[in-house]
Structure 1
Amino acid sequence: MAAEYGIISLLPALLAIVMTLVSRQVLLSLFTGIWIGATILVGWNPIEGAAHSLQMVINSVTASFNSKLLLFTFLSGAMLGMIFLSGGMSALAQRIISRIQTRKQAELGTGILGMLIFVDSYASTMITGSVMRPITDQFDISREKLAYLLDSTTSPVVSVAVVSTWVGFEVGLIRDQINSISSIDQSAFMVFLQSIPFRFYSLLAVTLVFILIVMDWDFGPMKQAEKRAKEEGKVLGDDADPLIETREEDIDTPDHVDPRWWYFAVPIVSLVAVTGFGLLYSGGWPSKAPVEALKGAATADAILWGVFSACALLLAILVGHARVELEEVSDSIFEGFKMVMFPVAVLSLAWTIGSVSEALGVGPYVVSISQGIITAPMLPAVVFISAAIISFAIGTSWGTMGIMFPVAVPLAVQLGAPLPGATGAILTGSLFGDHCSPISDTTVMSSMFAGADHVDHVNTQIPYALLCGVVATGLFLAGGYGVSSLTVFGYTVGPLVLLVAGVAALFVAAYYLSEHADVNVPTTFGSSSD
């Protein structure tokens, strides 16, 4: 089916993405892309295409993993509604603010917290965004910057962590290829570990976050957003449409309730602990070792158990300790549901446009083009760029990994290219495209829990992601063409040395773009920044 549609397979996703960024009408743009794609699939009949579009949305929403993630999102909204009612977030924020004295400290705290919760990217985004949003607002840090900090310190860290919801999926893909290719005599987990130094984009993305924070640099549309927040006190642009519109002050804490910081902390600890236990238990622990258990963990089930436990604890705290009436608790839960209705709609359509692109054969088409120009030295860079294009078009890094592994790994073996480099290129390229795509679920979740306008988040993040992507491409090319095997003063230049060079290049480029590029650089597409 891929060869059948050719370049046309790219049309629905690209149309949806461009329409989203230009018109700022996310839902309409996504459904237009779905309709166009469905129309192509049914033989260019627009009426039949409309009916097929609806069926594809239903199929996406009812898919097991997706339906669990939607329930997780609704329960997250309920949890936030009850947290707002308890006043616990405000109480904790005040305690933290008393220790955080500057914008830089608030940004560093956000980045560090995002990295510390490395078990799951969704949980990390939700927790870090919920904790830090009132704090970053207090220091006039734009919501665009907060969304960027969330997006660039969650998935990049979780994807390389040896204990996370990602490791099982990634190791499983590697194992499938090792089992199918008899000439590979390595363990899947060892290849995973060896690929980490080659995750150039992931590692550079996290590094850039802290370069920008420590040096107080910004460039592109983000510079305008931060200028607006600093000078005008506007964390959101005038025409911004944040994915979560309900704020803490919109849900009143009853007068008789004395907000305690642990009203927030205890449910969050429960969420993390139950999620971690759920990952191990669903994977077969204690009969299996923790690493082996994580490989077979049921990610969606684990995060669902975690957020449900947090909601149950909050209900007990509100009714049992804070003495809040059940009617008020119920009202806060429904307010929480209202918070996440728009993100749920965006996620549903984003998954569907990804399914449309897969049905049209975007992945095989991009791979087929790449295969014609690949040589062993070029392989890592071409695989990295191919994975990024596919991920950008279908909006899912995991889906891209599933597409790329059966093609890129056998090709690497055939050409004699190092397996860790090819593996790292797939895994980090998938994340690069995901970071640039407005139809990515992790990008949507970052906008959601930062309370940011989704289009503004994408606009401000793309220049940073592109900078890391360009440097990463250069590193893959350098490694592929033998730089990694050169001997300098008796030492072999390996991927870690390449990474150091990449960090230096990133620093220089960020300095130039921040200090010498035009301050009034236009936004990537339509933006609410003044």
Structure 2
Amino acid sequence: MPAESYGIISLFPALFAILLTLVTRQVLLSLFTGIWIGATILVGWNPIAGGAHSLQLVINSVTSPFNSKLLLFTFLSGAMLGMIFLSGGMNALAQRIIARIKTRKQAEIGTGILGMLIFVDSYASTMITGSVMRPITDKFDISREKLSYLLDSTTSPVVSVAVVSTWVGFEVGLIRDQLNQIASVDKSAFVVFLESIPFRFYSLLAIALVFILIVMEWDFGPMKEAEERARTEGKVLKDDADPLIETREEDIITPDHVDARWWYFAAPIVALVAITGFGLLYSGGWPSKAPVEALKGAATADAILWGVFSACALLLAILVGHARVKLDAISDSIFEGFKMVMFPVAVLSLAWTIGSVSQSLKVGEFVVGVSQGIITAPILPAVVFVTAAIISFAIGTSWGTMSIMFPVAVPLAVQLGAPLAGATGAILTGSLFGDHCSPISDTTVMSSMFAGADHVDHVNTQIPYALLCGVVATGLFLASGYGLSPLLLLPVGVVALFGVAYYLSEHADVSVPTTFGSSSD
């Protein structure tokens, strides 16, 4: 069947998989069902051929260079966590931090700040922040749902706007590709990137909402129920929760003779961040190129892989050379670490595949085609933002959405005379908005994974917060299209967030369960 004739049905496989996931809480079965439906459509509606094609699509996704490196990164992360548990370093560091953190609010603020400070890479930031803060937030009876929200809403939004990160090279590269084809625009791609930052309304509002909720001690919707459960019953997870990763230190026992030191954990984490940062620069051509130019061509997957491998190597040296742990015990801890990440690896593999199915069905082209018919210059930023969010939600990847949107939205903005920075910001932050709402997003999966949270519970509790920021951001994009400065609009957006969050947390009725797939009834 030709791609042009798929139409609205191109949305069905991903949306069906997402809805089935939320209703049944069976992530793997739901994702594969969506893949099978999409594959059946692609092969001409033959369900048997669709089943065979589904398997090939999974193989293609897993073996793509970037995805295979990310899977190896995940396995090595599991190995690193296993060795960290064996060393006792995480507990030692957590005890030192707990001695200085006295309240739940301080634990939440610490999580948010740490997530923002590690702005080099969203995967590394999620892994490090989740691993460090999970035992601390557990100590103060902060729900795993809240922890995974704090990870998801501080790591990716900050990395996406940081001028030194794994995202900046990709984003600047997309901008540069379009500017090279538009003779009427005489600007540096990096300058356009910088000009777009004030227009990243969703990303900036998502960060602001995190700290509004923490400082004011507000929550609403399903998150309020989760936090009340954790605070009153001491249950950081629901009774029927199925954590995406089992990260219980008691599964790996530190030998009695080991005198656990806090730097057993800190040293490999520092190595991870340092080697990842160096890898980004080196893979992009530094020192022969300037740092900013090097980041544009950086090999993100290679850099994070080098970083986590270096951390594992350093941990091995510490365990053998300083802690005097036997190799048999180390091997067992690595194997336990691998077991921790098996389920997330399976989820990631199928999430990527359902995303590739949606791209093969031309979801992006369909949504963009519908949107183009209603676009005028004043409403272009808002329409681009919403369109990017829909595509990102359906295919589960910010970067894939950016690749789809830039060749369409940037030339259209130039043609209509709309501000290029506004259109660029709308693409980049709209892609993140949809990503935050989608259970098939890799960053959402990673947040659930390193928070030790039930993935469906994370999605259910985060969506109301993401939608609040998304609705306010849409209003700001509409206003910016009519000439209002983003620097004036951002404070207005923060005030709107504050007011709505106050009403929802203090006055809205949340007594009726609002989650999909809830088994509480």
Q: TM range, normalised to the smaller chain?
A: over 0.9
Say whether 1:100 aligns with 2:91: no
Whether the 8 Å CA contact 1:2–1:364 is kept in 2: the answer is: no
In the alignment, which residue of structure 2 is the partner of 1:427? Answer: 428
SS at match of 2:376: coil
In the alignment, which residue of structure 1 is the partner of 2:15? Answer: 14
Q: Deviations over 1:364-396 (max 9, x none)?
A: 000000000000011000000000000000000
Q: What is the identity, as a one-letter code, of the residue corresponding to 2:67?
A: N
In the alignment, which residue of structure 1 is the partner of 2:498? Answer: 507
SS at match of 2:259: coil
Q: What is the identity, as a one-letter code, of the residue corresponding to 2:69?
A: K
| 1:158-173 equivalences in 2 (<5 Å) | 158-173=159-174
For 1:118 and 1:380, how far apart are their aligned partners in 2?
A: 26
Change over 3 Å in CA distance of 1:338–1:467 after alignment to 2: same
Whether the 8 Å CA contact 1:225–1:529 is kept in 2: the answer is: no
SS at match of 2:6: helix
In the alignment, which residue of structure 2 is the partner of 1:356? Answer: 357
Q: What is the identity, as a one-letter code, of the residue corresponding to 1:360?
A: L
For 2:486 and 2:186, how far apart are their aligned partners in 1?
A: 22
Q: Identity of paired residues, percent?
A: 88
Q: CA deviation at 1:527?
A: 3.3
Change over 3 Å in CA distance of 1:2–1:192 after alignment to 2: farther
For 1:529 and 1:445, how far apart are their aligned partners in 2?
A: 26
Q: What is the identity, as a one-letter code, of the residue corresponding to 1:213?
A: I
SS at match of 1:519: coil
Q: Deviations over 1:145-167 (max 9, x none)?
A: 00000000000000000000000
Q: Deviations over 1:91-148 (max 9, x none)?
A: 0000000000000000000000000000000000000000000000000000000000
Q: CA deviation at 1:249?
A: 1.5
Deviates more, 1:515-524 or 1:106-115: 515-524
In the alignment, which residue of structure 1 is the partner of 2:462? Answer: 461
In the alignment, which residue of structure 1 is the partner of 2:240? Answer: 239
In the alignment, which residue of structure 1 is the partner of 2:489? Answer: 498
For 1:20 and 1:324, how far apart are their aligned partners in 2?
A: 42
For 2:354 and 2:255, how far apart are their aligned partners in 1?
A: 43
Q: What is the identity, as a one-letter code, of the residue corresponding to 1:72?
A: F
In the alignment, which residue of structure 2 is the partner of 1:85? Answer: 86
Whether the 8 Å CA contact 1:228–1:529 is kept in 2: the answer is: no
SS at match of 2:407: helix
In the alignment, which residue of structure 1 is the partner of 2:299? Answer: 298
For 2:180 and 2:31, how far apart are their aligned partners in 1?
A: 38
Whether the 8 Å CA contact 1:221–1:521 is kept in 2: the answer is: no
Q: What is the identity, as a one-letter code, of the residue corresponding to 1:90?
A: N
Whether the 8 Å CA contact 1:2–1:365 is kept in 2: the answer is: no
Change over 3 Å in CA distance of 1:340–1:528 after alignment to 2: farther
In the alignment, which residue of structure 2 is the partner of 1:439? Answer: 440
Say whether 1:479 aligns with 2:470: no
Whether the 8 Å CA contact 1:79–1:311 is kept in 2: the answer is: yes
For 1:481 and 1:322, how far apart are their aligned partners in 2?
A: 64
Q: Deviations over 1:416-469 (max 9, x none)?
A: 000000000000000000000000000000000000000000000000000000
Q: Deviations over 1:6-55 (max 9, x none)?
A: 00000000000000000000000000000000000000000000000000
For 2:249 and 2:424, how far apart are their aligned partners in 1?
A: 43
Q: What is the identity, as a one-letter code, of the residue corresponding to 1:514?
A: S
In the alignment, which residue of structure 2 is the partner of 1:519? Answer: 510
Whether the 8 Å CA contact 1:2–1:362 is kept in 2: the answer is: no
For 1:481 and 1:189, how far apart are their aligned partners in 2?
A: 25
Q: CA deviation at 1:523?
A: 2.3
SS at match of 2:167: helix
SS at match of 1:154: helix
Q: CA deviation at 1:526?
A: 1.6
Q: What is the identity, as a one-letter code, of the residue corresponding to 1:245?
A: E
| 1:395-410 equivalences in 2 (<5 Å) | 395-410=396-411
Q: What is the identity, as a one-letter code, of the residue corresponding to 2:174?
A: L
In the alignment, which residue of structure 2 is the partner of 1:212? Answer: 213
Q: What is the identity, as a one-letter code, of the residue corresponding to 1:369?
A: V
Q: CA deviation at 1:245?
A: 1.4
In the alignment, which residue of structure 1 is the partner of 2:152? Answer: 151
SS at match of 1:287: coil
In the alignment, which residue of structure 1 is the partner of 2:176? Answer: 175
Whether the 8 Å CA contact 1:376–1:480 is kept in 2: the answer is: yes
Whether the 8 Å CA contact 1:396–1:440 is kept in 2: the answer is: yes
Q: What is the identity, as a one-letter code, of the residue corresponding to 1:73?
A: T
Q: What is the identity, as a one-letter code, of the residue corresponding to 1:522?
A: P
In the alignment, which residue of structure 2 is the partner of 1:249? Answer: 250
For 1:119 and 1:311, how far apart are their aligned partners in 2?
A: 19
| 1:277-292 equivalences in 2 (<5 Å) | 277-292=278-293
Q: CA deviation at 1:67?
A: 0.1
Whether the 8 Å CA contact 1:191–1:420 is kept in 2: the answer is: yes
For 1:529 and 1:62, how far apart are their aligned partners in 2?
A: 40
| 1:23-38 equivalences in 2 (<5 Å) | 23-38=24-39
For 1:396 and 1:347, how far apart are their aligned partners in 2?
A: 11
Q: CA deviation at 1:246?
A: 3.6
Q: CA deviation at 1:56?
A: 0.2
For 1:233 and 1:158, how far apart are their aligned partners in 2?
A: 33
For 1:450 and 1:81, how far apart are their aligned partners in 2?
A: 16
In the alignment, which residue of structure 1 is the partner of 2:202? Answer: 201
For 1:520 and 1:426, how far apart are their aligned partners in 2?
A: 37
For 2:354 and 2:114, how far apart are their aligned partners in 1?
A: 32
Change over 3 Å in CA distance of 1:528–1:343 after alignment to 2: farther
In the alignment, which residue of structure 2 is the partner of 1:274? Answer: 275
Q: What is the identity, as a one-letter code, of the residue corresponding to 2:400?
A: G
Q: CA deviation at 1:332?
A: 0.1
| 1:376-395 equivalences in 2 (<5 Å) | 376-395=377-396
Change over 3 Å in CA distance of 1:520–1:63 after alignment to 2: same
Q: What is the identity, as a one-letter code, of the residue corresponding to 1:499?
A: L
Whether the 8 Å CA contact 1:221–1:529 is kept in 2: the answer is: no
| 1:216-231 equivalences in 2 (<5 Å) | 216-231=217-232
Q: What is the identity, as a one-letter code, of the residue corresponding to 2:506?
A: E
For 2:355 and 2:512, how far apart are their aligned partners in 1?
A: 32
In the alignment, which residue of structure 2 is the partner of 1:66? Answer: 67
Q: Deviations over 1:266-299 (max 9, x none)?
A: 0000000000000000000001110110000000
SS at match of 1:421: helix
Q: CA deviation at 1:195?
A: 0.1
Q: What is the identity, as a one-letter code, of the residue corresponding to 2:517?
A: G
Whether the 8 Å CA contact 1:319–1:326 is kept in 2: the answer is: yes
SS at match of 2:180: helix
RMSD between superposed Cα atoms in Å: 0.8
Q: CA deviation at 1:479?
A: 1.1
In the alignment, which residue of structure 2 is the partner of 1:412? Answer: 413
Moved over 3 A (4+): 527-530
Q: CA deviation at 1:524?
A: 3.1
Q: CA deviation at 1:519?
A: 3.1
Say whether 1:118 aligns with 2:109: no
Q: What is the identity, as a one-letter code, of the residue corresponding to 2:362?
A: G
For 1:248 and 1:399, how far apart are their aligned partners in 2?
A: 36
Q: Deviations over 1:327-365 (max 9, x none)?
A: 000000000000000000000000000000000000000
Q: Deviations over 1:225-272 (max 9, x none)?
A: 000000000000000000111411211000000100000000000000
For 1:528 and 1:84, how far apart are their aligned partners in 2?
A: 33
